[in-house]
Amino acid sequence: MSDLPVRDEYGFYEIRLESIGGLGANLAGKILAEAGILNLGFNGSSFSSYGSEKRGSPVKAFIRFCDSDCEVRINSPVTEPHLIAVFQENLKQILPVLMGMNDKTRVVVNTARTAPAARDFLEMPGGTLYCVDALKISREEKVKLNTTILGAVCRASGFLAKEALEQAISDTLGKKYAWLVPANLKAFNRGFEEVEILEVPDDGKYPFQPFRESPPRWGYGNAPIGGTITEIASTLRNDLSASREGLLPFFIRDNCTDCTLCESTCPDYCYVWREVEKDGRKTMVNTGINYQYCKGCLRCVDICPSQAIEARNESEVDTKKLSRVSIW
Amino acid sequence: MTEVITENKQVTVVKSGNEMAAVAAKQINYHVMGFYPITPSTQIAETVDEMKANGEHDIKMIPGDGEHGAAGICYGAATGGGRVFNATSANGLLYSLEQLPVQSGTRFPMVLNVVTRSFSGPLDIKGDHSDLMTTLNMGWIILLAKDPQRGYDMNIIAVKIGEQEKVRLPVIVSSDGFFTSHQKRRVQYFENKETVQGFIGPFKAGNHALDAAHPVTIGPYMNEPDLINNKKQLSLAMAAAYEALPGIFEEYGKLSGRKYSMVETFELEDAEAALFILNSSFDTAKEAVIRLRKEGKKVGLLAANVLRPWPYHELISACKNLRALCVADRQDSFSGQGGNMTLELKATLQDDPQNRTRVFSRIYGLGGKDFYVGDAVALLNEALEVAVSGRVKNRYDYLGASSGDLNYQAESMLEPIPQAKSGLPENFNLVKDETTGITKVKGVNLRELTGMPKRVVSGHRACPGCGIFPNLNLFLKGISGNVVVLFQTGCAMVVTTGFPLTSFRVTYIHNLFQNGAATLSGLVEMFQEKKRRGEIPVDDDFTFIMVTGDGGQDIGMGPTIGTALRNHKMIILEYDNGGYMNTGYQMSFTTPFAAKTTTSHIGPAQHGKNFFHKDTAQIIAATNIPYVCTVAECNPLDYVKKAAKAQKYSSERGLVYVKAISACPLNWGDNPRLERRVIQAGVDCCFFPLYEVEEGITNITYDPEKLKKKTPVGDWLKMMGRTRHLIEPEYAQELEMFQDEVDRRWERLKARHEHSLL
Ligand SMILES: Cc1ncc(C[n+]2csc(CCOP(=O)(O)OP(=O)(O)O)c2C)c(N)n1
Ligand code: SF4
Ligand code: SF4
Ligand code: SF4
């Protein structure tokens, strides 16, 4: 029988998964809860930060474990997790994914970086870091990312028995997707094995960020009544690059014939066109992609008749340098 | 652990409140479930449907055309003398509200799960009790389920209490949206459905509509002096329910080891100050009590497990020794000095001459705002202060509302679109060919149109590859000048306008899921009238465009037909992705035949959606509006031309209806990268033919048959996860039926194209 390594004042060991919709964090939470409750004999709960569940939008999943005879009473989100798993590292750029952690917290991150580089990328103040290249592993095993990350979470937890999670994975997939079980178990085991662990020194390089609900900019004192929004076109402030799942389009101007097909297919209006003078006539030309809004769907890659758009790995493209500024 | 009688063995699982409600429904084996999807209650119908596909029960599942329809289906089924089930939330509940007093007033028991959610507007999908509290006066029994375990237990108890001979009332089981409905917990249920069936007993019908030997009149016209007596009967039935419930709780407790009571308390015995708080927050607040008790503070908790019948005596006795009570309401009865629980508790305690409890109200957790232990500590401390001072300083207030950053200066990312720049489509040349009756559009240059300012901008939260935005882009390229858009509820509105941000550079309105056409009719007529009165300059002009999903045109078909018959000068653009995508892909009436969705699962006992896709364009064409057309992103030029015609007809003649096929990679189960090919295939197989009906004359604008590109529907269906199974041998019959139906519609369309009188 396993025992919880630590408990908070309410008796819980708490896990927070930081992800984007579509990567299976919610299912990972369910698998964790089932492993802990049904197979290891803890009591507990699992739930997610639901909004409108679109692929690519930030989502959190929460898992709580306590002793079997302890009542689960708290229904609010996990704010001071013992373990955090970051499914998509670029989330760091738009959200405080490590908020509420302390020097005992274990952090799992899906990254192709080395552990020290990942530490700096995440600006992790202390604790223990577990790096796993889940994207690579899950692509190789042709499975969703979540089971690979579960492997690393299992390793990082130090108390969730591997067999219990393997059982829960098989049970969850087993009924309807039996043929997916072996590959997922392999991915899970690779996730468990192929982690790089780093004890992050509490060297003051980055500050710990205590949990805090950020107060809204608009409230009852200043918001236009009725919920009306007067700041038009304001979603232009959003950075959607964290929605990409590894691949992005790369534009090759020399091959482009300005046929406008990419413009007609891009759901995120990323192609930037400019007016130029050509042979004494004014015409529009395609100047490339605004990567701030590109979600990496690759519709444009498939549609381009002139090989002017290629799919590349995110890590191979300097999006900061190549990104175009939209003209509205 | 409680002792469990062995023949009534229970199994332990990890499940959510919604899942447990579905498990209970399956074991009860209702005759009929009428339903309509709405977050966060949808999962109940989804789970019951999945079980149906697996052959686990015999419940007849009927998707309504909206909640009003779903409630009607339930009422009709209940008059037939059988067990009936439904689940809804928020606006779904409000849309079906008028059916509730009919159900109770004519005394047909059924069970409705209200998974709580804030009602619009502005639209919020998270849980508060604004919806639930509208049901207090509907004559229904209301049981609360604060956790997933009770989601199961209360659903079983509900059947038993509602069907008692002296009661015969419909029952609501209410759990907190997301907090309970979606949270997975360790729960138990009876291994054998016979245990459940034994507890509820066989259904005993009263007077009903399916007894040929005893015809009855159900729902007569009844004025004074009789109605008051009908309500008195209802009130007596509610009193009977009050008498019966403790016994039923007792009996269920013996069976399950879980005994419930009318009210729930925690450390209340010797408490001086307490918090009254319903459902999931009650548990969170327990931790606050434990913390304060450790500090020696005498605090406790109180809640009702049953709202109707109101646990009047239990509440009076629970508050006997209390000096102060904070009532936390998750809704407000604006200016009534509290939410409904505050008002009812104050009224109740007033009746006890000995009672000295000071009651005050706090409105909390609206729109699903999280409730933390710290919040409960703050409320309990406030109650303690009142207990000590004997004075309520702040009778009624909001907990957790924020004034905002008062120094923030609003800043738009862009200026409104300058008139001069929105004018590219003004160069189009539209000429009607009088012999064919078809207008030709010339001068559309797609490259030039890339320079046109966009009315909808980037940064929205749609899934990668979503088809809605290429559709909006292409359509708006054909429209010049000022535009006002109105979106019905659905993915397009949700991903563009998450407060405080908006993707619109033009004026945008959202009303309700189903009421856009009526709403925009009103706006169009206000514009015309203000213009007529000289309150708007004569040369001001707008193109009014309503944008809706196909689901919005299921529930909103009525208002749309009304708008068409009145022929207002506006455009309706329907993006048809063949499902209720915003709520997680339930079937809509346009979903392809035999497709799998979350409410039309495939399995041994069910083969996906069991009726053909709705032909919306033809339904609308039958209203004889000036212009109807279908469009697809795979034919961009055709698309922009039709948009230009749409604008012309809407400004000169009246209503225009445009129907676009719209990709949904998330739920179609295909690769977003290939979406354009999938759309092309949908058009080429004639599932979605491209044509227009211009002043009654049908014109096919892209004929795959003539171009020798027409393909079998299977070629399209196999491209998507939702329909791929149709090419399996076991679905051969469905595939053939599907092909026949598509061909039949296509042949008829061709005939219309050929004959201007058809
Ligand atoms: C009266 C009412 N019933 C149900 C809902 C829940 N609801 C919101 S959007 C939606 C589905 C929308 O489907 P559709 O119009 O096809 O648009 P899509 O989500 O596919 O973009 C549903 C069922 C609601 N908001 N109001
Ligand atoms: S589709 Fe290709 S060729 Fe056409 S405009 Fe885009 S990049 Fe250029
Ligand atoms: S991948 Fe291409 S089509 Fe998709 S969002 Fe990025 S630029 Fe647009
Ligand atoms: S669920 Fe479908 S329709 Fe909705 S945003 Fe995602 S892709 Fe678009």
Counting from 1 in the atom list of ligand 4, the atom nearest the Cα of B549 is 3
Q: Is A132 in the same domain as A266?
A: no
Chain A touched by B210 (CB under 8 Å): no
pLDDT at B1: 43
Query: Could you tell me if B64 and B87 are in contact, meaning their C-beta atoms sit under 8 angstroms apart?
Result: no
Q: pLDDT tens digits for chain A (328 residues)?
A: 579 999 999 999 999 999 999 999 999 999 999 999 999 999 999 999 877 679 999 999 999 999 999 999 999 999 999 999 999 999 999 999 999 999 999 999 999 999 999 999 999 999 999 999 999 999 999 999 999 999 999 999 999 999 999 999 999 998 788 999 999 999 999 999 999 999 999 999 999 999 998 889 999 999 999 999 999 999 999 999 999 999 999 999 999 999 999 999 999 999 999 999 988 999 999 999 999 999 999 999 999 999 999 999 998 999 999 999 999 8
CATH 3.40.50.920 domain position(s) in chain B: 264-398
CATH class of B430-754: alpha beta
Peptide bond into B225 cis (omega under 30): yes
Is there a single domain that holds both residue A130 and residue A188? Answer: yes
Does A180 share its domain with A266? no
Ligand number with the minimum distance to the CA of A286: 2
Within-domain flag for A129: yes
What per-residue confidence (pLDDT) applies to A176?
A: 81
Contact A253, A218 (CB under 8 A): no
**Which numbered atom of ligand 4 lies nearest the CA of B467?**
8
CATH 3.40.50.970 boundaries in chain B: 11-204+223-256, 430-754
Across the interface, whether the CB atoms of B412 and A229 are under 8 A apart is answered no
Please tell me the pTM assigned to this model: 0.97
Cβ atoms of residues B605 and B613 within 8 Å: no
Q: Which domain holds residue A83?
A: 13-200
Which of A252, A253, A258 to mutate to test ligand 2, by most ligand atoms within 8 A of the CB atom?
A258
Residues A252, A108 share a domain: no
Q: Say how far apart CA A16 and CA A149 lie, in whole Å.
A: 13
Claim to verify: residue A57 and residue A193 sit in the same structural domain: yes
- Any idea what the CATH number is for the domain that residue A179 is in? 3.40.920.10
Task: Please name the fold of domain B264-398.
Answer: Rossmann fold (3.40.50)
pLDDT (0 to 100) of residue B2: 47
- Residues of chain A contacting B287 with CB distance shorter than 8 Å: 10, 73-74
Amino acid of residue B113: N
Pair (A177, A30) in one structural domain: yes
What is the C-alpha to C-alpha distance for residues B734 and B726, in angstroms, rounded to an integer?
7
Q: Are residues A194 and A267 in the same domain?
A: no
Q: Which of B50, B457, B671 to mutate to test binding with chain A, by most A CBs within 10 Å of its CB?
A: B457
Of the candidates B696, B695, B686, B694, the one whose C-alpha atom is nearest the C-alpha of residue B758 is B696
CA distance B655 to chain A (A): 26
Among the candidates A200, A232, A253, a domain finishes at A200
Residue B588 Cβ inside 6 Å of ligand 1? The answer reads yes
Whole-angstrom distance, CA of residue B528 vs CA of residue B323: 62
How many domains are there within chain A?
A: 2
Residues A18 and A144 in one domain: yes
Contacts of A50 in chain B (CB under 8 A): 40, 125-126, 178, 182
Distance B488 CA to ligand 4 centre (A): 15
- d(CA A274, nearest CA chain B) in Å: 7
Does A258 sit in the ligand 2 pocket, CB within 6 Å? yes
| Residues in Cβ contact with B268 at an 8 Å cutoff, skipping those fewer than 6 apart | B274, B300, B301, B302, B318, B322
The atom of ligand 4 lying closest to the CA of B667 is: 2
Instruction: Tell me if A269 is assigned to some domain.
Output: yes
Residue in A closest to B2 by C-alpha? A69
B11-204+223-256 has CATH 3.40.50.970 classification: yes
Q: Which of residues 469-488 of B touch A (CB under 8 A)?
A: 469-470, 473-474
Ligand 4 binding pocket includes B663 (Cβ within 6 Å): no
How many other CB atoms are there within 10 angstroms of residue B106's CB atom? 16
Residues A155 and A82 occupy one common structural domain:
yes
Whether the CB-CB separation of B178 and A47 falls below 8 Å is answered with yes
Q: Angle, to 10 degrees, between the axis of helix B17-28 and the axis of helix B148-162?
A: 30
Residue of minimum CA distance from atom 5 in ligand 4 = B462
Burial B195-209 (b: 16+ CB within 10 A, else e): bbbebbeeeebeeeb
Q: Does B391 touch chain A (CB under 8 A)?
A: no
B470 with A270: Cβ contact below 8 A: no
- The answer to whether residues A76 and A173 belong to one domain is yes
| B449 → chain A, closest CA residue | A284
Domain end marker among A168, A200, A232: A200
Among chain A residues, CA nearest to B468 = A267
Q: Same structural domain for residues A71 and A139?
A: yes
Cα A306 to the center of its chain, rounded Å: 33
Nearest ligand for residue B469 CA? 4
B697-743 tens-digit pLDDT: 999 999 999 999 999 999 999 999 999 999 999 999 999 999 999 99
A196 lies in the same domain as A248: no
Ligand 1 within 6 A of B371 CB?
A: no
Query: Is A225 inside any structural domain?
Result: no
Regions of chain B with pLDDT less than 50: 1-4
Q: Which of A174, A200, A226 is the last residue of a domain?
A: A200
Calculate helix-pair angle for B280-294, B373-389, nearest 10 degrees.
60
Of the partner residues B12, B280, B501, the one whose CB lies closest to the CB of residue A75: B280
